[in-house]
Structure 1
Amino acid sequence: MIEVRVAHTAQLDEAELAAARALLYRVFADMAEEDWEHSLGGVHALVREAGPGGEVVAHAAVVQRRLMYRGRALRAGYVEGVGVEARLRGQGYGGAVMAALERVIRRAYDVGALAATDEAMGFYSARGWQRWQGRASALTPAGVVRTPDAEDCLFVLPVASGPVPELDLTDELTCDWRDADVW
Structure 2
Amino acid sequence: MEGMTDARTAHTADLDAATLRAARALLDDAFEGDMSDHDWQHALGGVHALVWEGTELAGHASLVRRRLLHRGRSLRTGYVEAVGVRADRRGRGYGTALMDALEQVLAETYDLGALSSSELAVDFYLRRGWIRWEGPTSVLAPTGIVRTEEEDGSVFVLPLALPVDLSGELVCDWREGDVW
TM-score (norm 2): 0.96
Residue 73 of structure 1 is matched in structure 2 by 74
Amino acid aligned to 2:42:
H
Residue 120 of structure 1 is matched in structure 2 by 121
Gaps of 5+ in 1: none
**Offset of residue 3 of structure 1:** 3.1
Distance 2:7 2:177 in 1: 29
Aligned residue for 1:61, secondary structure, equals strand
The partner residue of 2:22 within 19, 23, 30 is 19
Residue 53 of structure 2 is matched in structure 1 by 49
Q: Where in structure 2 are the equivalents of 1:56-95 lying within 5 Å?
A: 56-95=57-96
Q: Deviations over 1:120-176 (max 9, x none)?
A: 0000000000000100000000100000111121000011xx4x2x11111100000
Q: Does residue 35 of structure 1 match 2:42?
A: no
Amino acid aligned to 2:38:
E
Residue 178 of structure 2 is matched in structure 1 by 181
The partner residue of 1:2 within 1, 5, 10 is 5
> How many residue pairs were aligned?
176
Identity of aligned residues (%): 56
**Offset of residue 49 of structure 1:** 1.0
Calculate the aligned-residue CA RMSD, in Å: 0.8
Residue 99 of structure 2 is matched in structure 1 by 98
Amino acid aligned to 1:155:
F
Q: Where in structure 2 are the equivalents of 1:129-168 lying within 5 Å?
A: 129-159=130-160, 162=161, 164=162, 166-168=163-165
Q: Deviations over 1:90-115 (max 9, x none)?
A: 22000000000000011100000000
Aligned residue for 2:92, secondary structure, equals coil
Amino acid aligned to 1:133:
E
Distance 1:181 1:16 in 2: 24
Aligned residue for 2:138, secondary structure, equals strand
Q: Deviations over 1:47-85 (max 9, x none)?
A: 1112xxx21110000000000000110000000000001
TM-score (norm 1): 0.94
